[in-house]
Amino acid sequence: MKRRDFIKSSIFALGGTALMTAGYGKEKLIKSEGQVIKRKYKDIEVPLLGFGCMRLPMDGNKIDMVELEKMTEYAFAHGANYFDTAYMYVDGNSETAIGKVLKKYDRSSFILADKSPIYKMNSQSDVRKIFDEQRKKCQVDYFDFYMCHNINLNTFEQYRNVKMVEELNKLKEEGLIKYFGFSFHGTPEILKEVVKDYKWDFAQLQVNYLDWDVVKAHEQYNIVQALGIPVTVMEPLRGGGLVNLSEKAMAKLKENYPNATPAEFGLRWAASQNNVVTVLSGMSNLKQMKENIATFENFTPMSEEEIKVADEMAKIIQSQGEINCTACKYCMEVCPKGINIPAIFALYNQYKVTNSAFHLKIYYETLSENEKADKCIKCGLCNKNCPQNLPIPDLLAEVQKEYEKAKASA
């Protein structure tokens, strides 16, 4: 073959391959045997387990796209096609990553939820600007579920000032948002105000057996239920807090239900509330996803006895004086000193449960110098962002004190 012929034929071959791959485009859905149970919501069906995209699988500092791909595939195969992302998740990379993996699937085959970051809005026009940015990042034309993100004590004023409801309602009328709701981390008093603002399609609340009391989730739930607003559940396991149970709480669970796992128990508790559309769980690897999906394949609501056990477990956990941090990392978005607040609180909580000063000391010392609690300057910027309204600087000082003690005793 002459050189020219060779080049010609290779170009044809390459072009052909490109055309073929383009033709295949969308991935075919292969359904497997076990399917996540679905609940009817308005005119669609929503899987009872949703994929929360705040704690995506990580490979160092980057999102592990290979694992994420595997997880999405598995989720689709089992009918768990609800994805819940937000502007600020994973340092703003969650939307892009989810957009990349969902691109392969037909738009009607998945339900995508996204949220409008209130703290980013300086004027009413910003709402649409950021909405368009989000559509671009997620590579979609419309969002099925869309929320005002994290309405709480501190953001409430801004949320009203920039007229988010007005602006987002326009988007809904244009068909770019199917269902319009809000995610909420405030007090029942504020919630009563928020529900007046709009005929909400849904409310995203922090519902789990511990927060039922702690953040007055019960009251919040009742407020929206009375108005017939369905609930999507976030933090059903408190960012893993209800998975890594203390010895006492674990003993309580095992004593009554030796076969139950804490994750399964927590998820079932949240899903057992009848006004709940879906329970969002932030899954960080395929193993967690497999377990959670198994929980929802043959889901049965909790019996009264089970709920009683959960109540008792909540009391045990509350009595241990742990910090109610869900590791959402919103504080770290703003901390000017870059203190690793969630990690410090996690260490502290572990210490509260195990009472091992030795472990507190060695784990605390694995943090880098700049991430430690003593770098806190008490500016209070974090407080504004904390959905749990924790007095972070004071708590950091307390942890530091405990660490000093642990260090002295070791």
Partner 1 sequence: MLYKIRFGIAILIFITAILGITGIFYPLPLFDIQTAPLIQRVIIDFTVISIASLAIILLLTLLFGRFYCSLLCPLGIIQEITALFRGEGNEEPRKNLPVKYFITAITLGVMIGGSALLIRYLEPYTYFGSAFTLSIIGIIALIAIIVLTLFKNRYFCTNICPIGCLLGLLSKLSLFKMYIDKNECLSCGMCERNCPSGCIDSGEQYIDNETCVKCLKCKGLCPKDAIKYGIKPKEEVIFNPKRRELITFGAALIVLAGAIKAGIEIGKTAAEKIKNVILPPGAENAQRMFNKCLNCNLCVNACPNKILTKADKDFGAVHIDYTKGEKYCKYDCIECAKVCPSGAIKKISLDKKQETRIAMAVINPDKCSKNGACIKVCPVNAITKEENEPAKIDASKCIGCGRCKTVCNSNAIEVFAINEQQRV
Residue 129 interacts with partner 1 (CB under 8 A): yes or no: no
CA atoms within 13 Å, Cβ hemisphere of 188: 14
Beta strands in 154-207 (DSSP E): 177-184, 202-206
Angle among Cα 47, 50, 51 to the nearest 5 degrees reads 140
- The SS3 assignment for 185 reads coil
Query: Which residue lies nearer to partner 1 by CB, 26 or 378?
Result: 378
User: Does 384 engage in binding with partner 1 (CB under 8 A)?
Assistant: yes
Q: How far is the CB of 301 from partner 1 (least distance, A)?
A: 44
Q: Specify the residue, 175 or 336, whose C-beta has the smaller distance to partner 1.
A: 336
Q: How far apart are CA 280 and CA 287, in angstroms?
A: 16
Q: What DSSP string runs through 332-365?
A: HHH-TT---HHHHHHHHHHHHHH--HHHHHHHHT
Question: Quick one: 112 or 392, whose CB is closer to partner 1?
Answer: 392
Q: What is the DSSP string of 288-343?
A: HHHHHHHHHHT--PPPHHHHHHHHHHHHHHHHTT--------HHHHH-TT---HHH
Query: Whole-number minimum distance, CB 359 to partner 1, in Å?
Result: 26
Residues forming beta bridges with residue 46, ordered by sequence position: 39
If binding is defined by CB under 8 A, does position 334 make contact with partner 1? yes
Query: With respect to partner 1, which residue has the nearer C-beta, 45 or 394?
Result: 394
DSSP strands (E only) in 24-95? 38-41, 44-47, 49-52, 58-59, 62-63, 82-84
> Using the rule CB under 8 A, which residue among 26, 362, 370, 374 binds partner 1?
370
Stretch in the footprint of partner 1 (CB under 8 A) among 71-79, 166-174, 358-366, 373-381: 373-381
Stretch that binds partner 1, among 75-83, 101-109, 300-308, 336-344 (CB under 8 A): 336-344
* Residues pairing with 181 in the sheet: 147, 202
Going by their DSSP bridges, the two strands 44-47 and 38-41 should be labelled as: antiparallel
Residue ranges in 216-275 that form contacts with partner 1 under rule CB under 8 A: none
Total number of residues that touch partner 1 (CB under 8 A): 12
Any contact of residue 92 with partner 1 (CB under 8 A)? no
377 binds partner 1 per the rule CB under 8 A: yes
Strand partners, 203: 182, 231
Report whether 390 contacts 397 (CB < 8 A).
no
Residue 115 vs 372, nearer CB to partner 1: 372
The sign of the dihedral angle between the CA atoms of 43, 149, 292, 236 is negative
What is the smallest separation between the CB atom of 117 and partner 1, expressed in angstroms? Answer: 14
Query: Which of the stretches 59-67, 145-153, 270-278, 332-340 binds partner 1 when contact is defined by CB under 8 A?
Result: 332-340
Contact between 379 and partner 1 (CB under 8 A)?
A: yes
Residue 214 and residue 235 in contact, taking contact as beta carbons nearer than 8 Å:
no
Q: Is residue 381 part of the contact set for partner 1 (CB under 8 A)? A: yes
**Distance in Å, CB of 401 to partner 1, minimum:** 18
Q: Least CB distance from residue 190 to partner 1, whole Å? A: 19
Q: Could you say which of 170, 308, 337, 401 contacts partner 1 (CB under 8 A)?
A: 337
Would you say 283 or 390 has its CB closer to partner 1? 390
Q: Which is nearer to partner 1, 286 or 381 (CB)?
A: 381
Question: Which of 46, 396 has the CB closer to partner 1?
Answer: 396
Among positions 336, 366, 408, 409, the unique one binding partner 1 when judged by CB under 8 A:
336
CB of 161 to partner 1, least distance (A): 14
Place of tokens 């999405």: 72
**Cross-strand pairs, 71:** none
Q: Give the residues lining the site for partner 1 (CB under 8 A).
A: 334, 336-338, 369-370, 377-381, 384
